[in-house]
Amino acid sequence: MTCSAERVDRPTAADRKTRIRTLNDQLRETGVGGRMVMTTGVAALPPHDIAAILLAISTFDAFDEDNDPWGEHDCALLHVGERQLFWKIDCYDRSLANLSPDPADPTVTIRVMTVMLPEEY
């Protein structure tokens, strides 16, 4: 009796990075695929300022080696009008108790994007 094993290709590091970046962009651009939260400083701003901030974050595309050295589109510092803001995406396990065991796998990951004023970091 002979057995044939089906070959299963494991994703490369580049494939994983691309998947993480895609999932992070999806959350940042559309709000889908995780949770979006803001700090008390951002939440205290007028609603039209908050709307402008969320729009600026969703359309942000100035990623480069300096602000995105790992190519995962997981954080940035930006200006909206006169205000400087910071956003970051963290990847947690499904219980939100620990970091995700695999940020490239949405079945084991919950993404949380936090929008904050730099002084709140």
pLDDT in tens, 31-86: 999 999 999 999 999 999 999 999 999 999 999 998 899 999 999 999 999 999 99
Rounded mean pLDDT of 86-91? 97
Three-state DSSP class for 107?
Answer: coil
Higher local confidence (pLDDT), 4 or 27: 27
Does residue 46 belong to any structural domain of this protein?
yes
- Confidence check: pLDDT of 5 > 90: no
Query: How confident is the model at residue 4, as a pLDDT?
Result: 53
Does residue 8 belong to any structural domain of this protein?
no
Long-range contacts of 42-49 (CB under 8 A, 24+ apart): 42/85, 42/115, 42/116, 42/117, 42/120, 49/80, 49/81, 49/83
Three-state DSSP class for 98?
Answer: coil
Does residue 3 belong to any structural domain of this protein?
no
Query: How confident is the model at residue 13, as a pLDDT?
Result: 86
Query: How confident is the model at residue 3, as a pLDDT?
Result: 52
Does residue 1 belong to any structural domain of this protein?
no
Q: What does pLDDT average to over the chain? A: 93
Say how far apart CA 103 and CA 20 lie, in whole Å.
Answer: 6
Does residue 71 belong to any structural domain of this protein?
yes
The percentage of the chain sitting over the pLDDT mark of 90, rounded to a whole number, equals 86
Give the structural domain span for 30.
Answer: 13-120
The pTM is what?
0.88
Does residue 6 belong to any structural domain of this protein?
no
Rounded mean pLDDT of 17-26? 97
Write out the DSSP string of 15-55.
HHHHHHHHHHHHHHHHS-SEEEEE-HHHHTS-HHHHHHHHH
**How would you class 87 by CB atoms within 10 Å of its CB: exposed for 0-12, middle for 13-18, buried for 19 or more?**
buried
The count of structural domains within the chain is 1
Three-state DSSP class for 105?
Answer: coil
